[in-house]
Structure 1
Amino acid sequence: MSATSSPLKRERDDAGAISSEDDYFTPASSASPAPSKKPKSPSASISSATTPTSTEGTTTSIVNKSEQLEAIFKNLRLRRIVKENHSSEINQMAFCLDQRHNKTPFGLDHVKVFEQRGAVKRDPWDNSNILGTTGGPQANIYDNEHCGDHLDIMSHFLLDPVGEEGSEELPEMLTCCWIHQPQDAILATAGTDKVIHILSLSRSKELVRLTGHSHTITDIQAHPFNDDYLLSASKDGSVRMWNILTGKCLLIFEIKASVVCFSPNSEGKTFLTGGYNGEIREWSIPTMDTEPEEPIVILANESRVLQSGLHSARIDCIRFAKGKVLSKSVNGKVEYWDPETLAQIRTFNIKNTASNQCRFDVSLDELFFCVGTSNGSVYIYNIDTGRTVTELKHRRSTKAIRTCIFARDSRTVICAGEDSFIWRYDYVTDETLNEWANWKAEP
């Protein structure tokens, strides 16, 4: 794909660079003035009364914050169920959480303020209410906080078959991620059709297709410091770095990896790959003064093996928390370890689950992670203590969970999986739970 064929690049060149945070894309339904007062809502009662102030950042404040968040997680209850129409697995979900461009508080410090009509007031550059899902041949985008906190559908993309002429087999989308672009929110998604689809939310259309992989794409990650770059892992035995504006493949790393994850402390200069045999490698991204005309090939012997015996099965998710690595294998084991010393810190054996592929999530404060099981439940763990905080479970949720995520305020956990249902668990106050417990139907 040539540089001149990308509508995304042409529109950016025409518009020029945008530096003001106020110019970032925000859907009309959620754009609003800055918060003016605390809301009269259940979620505000804990944060306003117990959030640490002067001791923030100390060991004591972290302990207090963990205890407060654990109380919130134990009060999560199923409040929303959405059925997607493709009747396939939902393989990944992602909130549009842009921590580099967006300085909105998170966790206990995030306080929602509601307008009279029920919409949440938010800063213009905060798009964290936007939820993207991918599964079957579709990518769907929801507003998680509009009009009474419903999961309202915003955009729906049905991805056409890509391949030999006459092929009518619909692709299955396996992975997705958000990419920041001025005045837009970009969702990238990929899967069995070997193509990375670049979708624009503000324009409701597909902008670019990145082609070059010869087999199923299993994972994609946006570059943490360059909004034009994207990393992809494929069963074809390569990991590739792309420029989404030009559509060009810049780098090819020769490794058959199931997942990839950028190292947050390296400014995007290194990343980890997880393999099908449980091996985890670290790769360095070469410095490019100018982008190459042809992709630069990096061989496997130019990478560093970090872990070879820690996992005995395929790696299906890697995340970082406080500079340390959380890696999960499909046999239900999550390892927490130091990427510098390679020392193992803690092992989490996911309860009540058989072999299951699930992308877990780390809360923005990096204190907790949530992970799904093969029987339809989600566990939340305290990373520092190793303690199981709670199990989110409903009798109707019996199929394997493939993906789960925290909302920005940590008062919502959303999961999805085999049955194409989206399950949303929300924080409910003690008072409301007592009312429910004491409620009796009228005769």
Structure 2
Amino acid sequence: MAAKVPVGCEPVVGSLTPSKKKEYRVTNRLQEGKRPLYAVVFNFIDSRYFNVFATVGGNRVTVYQCLEGGVIAVLQSYIDEDKDESFYTVSWACNLDGSPFLVAGGINGVLRVIDSGSEKLHQSFVGHGDSINEVRTQPLKPSLVVSASKDESVRLWNVHTGICIMIFAGAGGHRNEVLSVDFHPSDIHRIASCGMDNTVKIWSTKEFWSYVEQSFTWMDLPSKFPTKYVQFPLFIASVHTNYVDCNRWLGDFVLSKSVDNEILLWEPKMKENSPGEGTVDILQKYPVPECDIWFIKFSCDFHYKTAAIGNREGKIFVWELLTSPPTLIARLSHVQSKLPIRQTAMSFDGSTILSCCEDGTIWRWDVVATNSATS
């Protein structure tokens, strides 16, 4: 990942808009290593582990637990056999028996599926022709994951059987690196992806769902599975004029972020019987100052009430998503946080915000009841 030289930030913790005011303070700061951390994610797949999170950086995947009083406990660590691996993304998933899996990918283009119960590598998925920029899990069927790659494709995988079910690429696919991908929260067939071609594309698996069902009962080698190529998306949106490096569904709406210092909330309006065509209604804009480098991803709490995003100066902006006009409920900064925050993770109820940084640090912010600012 290309990094830009960041500038400093003020040693304050602030919050705005009195009606929605929230204050957070730093309760922990961990130095995981010297290599940049590109992803941090809570486990929203299993209610037993809502306070457990994972990070990736270099060839390491580390699992932690958030405890009371700002305490962060290290639970386990996986070091990839390839010293040259640099993981960019990680997602929680689970096997059919409910055991928690971690799926990580990065510069080598190989997906590592780790059984965090046995603390062993479960499987490796080879297929992408270049680095993997993001992995996401289907919340309604968490043994399905989708990966976005520099090879201009999106792939749908079954972590239970190791099968690559579908590849979204080709004539109507992305024309540059795919940087982000997400499953629709309630429509099991919909996927949104975005990338360096400045577009967001919405795909559907509905027509090919028999391939998904077949992937669970396939008895032959995964390499013999009749992987389906999906070349044409349902919808193509050009709502940004530069790289789009993060997109998330908000119900039937889409939140997407480019390198132009803002997140957009928009509604795709597809034309019936005209795949790929339609219009976009931009509903709201969430400004994020000094967020003009690529590969900075935002996160939301479990119910998508709030979103948190870092910037290249080490600051975090927390937005209330369900208000109009948009409400910035907190702006977080610390004198020692000066480098780009690659990703944030919000806890189940949004009371804890984690950030992973270019310098290998993990920051924990917790909401406080007091209205006085803390430095």
CA distance in 1, matches of 2:70, 2:336: 22
1:160-239 aligned within 5 A:
160-161=81-82, 169-181=83-95, 182-239=97-154
Paired residue secondary structure (1:290): helix
What residue is the counterpart of 2:53 in the other structure?
131
Which of 2, 26, 31 aligns to 1:78? It is: 26
What residue is the counterpart of 2:9 in the other structure?
none
What residue is the counterpart of 1:354 in the other structure?
292
**1:382 matches 2:306:** no
Which of 294, 305, 313 aligns to 2:225? It is: 294
Name the structure, 1 or 2, with higher relative contact order (CA <8 Å, separation 6+).
2
CA distance in 2, matches of 1:183, 1:250: 21
What residue is the counterpart of 1:49 in the other structure?
none
CA distance in 1, matches of 2:226, 2:104: 22
What residue is the counterpart of 1:312 in the other structure?
241
CA distance in 1, matches of 2:202, 2:292: 29
Q: Spell out, residue by residue over 1:73-118, the C-alpha distance to the aligned partner (whole angstroms, 9 max, x if none).
A: 3x21111000012x111111110112xx64xxxxxxxxxxxxxxxx
Q: 1:299 to 1:410 in 2, by over 3 A?
A: closer
Q: Which runs of 5+ in 2 are unaligned?
A: 1-16, 219-223, 270-278
Larger helix fraction of residues: 1
- Please state how far the C-alpha of 1:204 moved relative to its aligned partner: 1.1
Q: 1:356 to 1:227 in 2, by over 3 A?
A: closer
What residue is the counterpart of 2:12 in the other structure?
none
- Please state how far the C-alpha of 1:245 moved relative to its aligned partner: 1.8
What residue is the counterpart of 1:88 in the other structure?
35
- Please state how far the C-alpha of 1:178 moved relative to its aligned partner: 0.3
CA distance in 1, matches of 2:348, 2:230: 38
State the AA in 1 paired with 2:303.
D
State the AA in 2 paired with 1:346.
Q
Q: Is the 8 A contact 2:90 2:134 kept in 1?
A: yes
CA distance in 2, matches of 1:378, 1:149: 18
Q: Is the 8 A contact 2:266 2:281 kept in 1?
A: yes
What residue is the counterpart of 2:194 in the other structure?
274
Q: Which has the larger radius of gyration?
A: 1
Q: TM-score, normalised to structure 2's length?
A: 0.82
Paired residue secondary structure (1:90): coil
Q: 1:361 to 1:400 in 2, by over 3 A?
A: same
Larger strand fraction of residues: 2
State the AA in 2 paired with 1:218.
N
What residue is the counterpart of 2:64 in the other structure?
142
- Please state how far the C-alpha of 1:67 moved relative to its aligned partner: 7.5
Paired residue secondary structure (1:287): helix
State the AA in 2 paired with 1:307.
A
Q: Is the 8 A contact 2:35 2:57 kept in 1?
A: yes
**1:321 matches 2:255:** no
CA distance in 2, matches of 1:374, 1:304: 34
Q: Is the 8 A contact 1:131 1:143 kept in 2?
A: yes
Paired residue secondary structure (1:342): strand
Dislocated runs of 4+, deviation >6 Å: none
**1:331 matches 2:278:** no
Q: Spell out, residue by residue over 1:401-443, the C-alpha distance to the aligned partner (whole angstroms, 9 max, x if none).
A: 1001211232211111201100111122328x59x89xxxxxx
CA distance in 2, matches of 1:295, 1:312: 37
Q: 1:188 to 1:251 in 2, by over 3 A?
A: same
Q: Is the 8 A contact 1:261 1:318 kept in 2?
A: yes
Q: 1:203 to 1:299 in 2, by over 3 A?
A: closer
- Please state how far the C-alpha of 1:158 moved relative to its aligned partner: 0.7
**1:364 matches 2:341:** no
CA distance in 1, matches of 2:159, 2:165: 10
- Please state how far the C-alpha of 1:173 moved relative to its aligned partner: 0.1
**1:416 matches 2:363:** no
What residue is the counterpart of 1:241 in the other structure?
156
Q: Is the 8 A contact 1:371 1:379 kept in 2?
A: yes
Q: Spell out, residue by residue over 1:377-423, the C-alpha distance to the aligned partner (whole angstroms, 9 max, x if none).
A: 00011222312222110000000010012112322111112011001
CA distance in 1, matches of 2:184, 2:104: 21
What residue is the counterpart of 2:11 in the other structure?
none
Q: Spell out, residue by residue over 1:154-200, the C-alpha distance to the aligned partner (whole angstroms, 9 max, x if none).
A: 00111111xxxxxxx52100001001333522111000111111112
Q: 1:298 to 1:382 in 2, by over 3 A?
A: same
Q: Is the 8 A contact 2:28 2:364 kept in 1?
A: yes
State the AA in 2 paired with 1:261.
D
State the AA in 1 paired with 2:234.
R
Which of 241, 251, 262 aligns to 2:183? It is: 262
- Please state how far the C-alpha of 1:318 moved relative to its aligned partner: 0.8
Number of aligned residue pairs: give it. Answer: 330
Q: Is the 8 A contact 1:277 1:312 kept in 2?
A: no
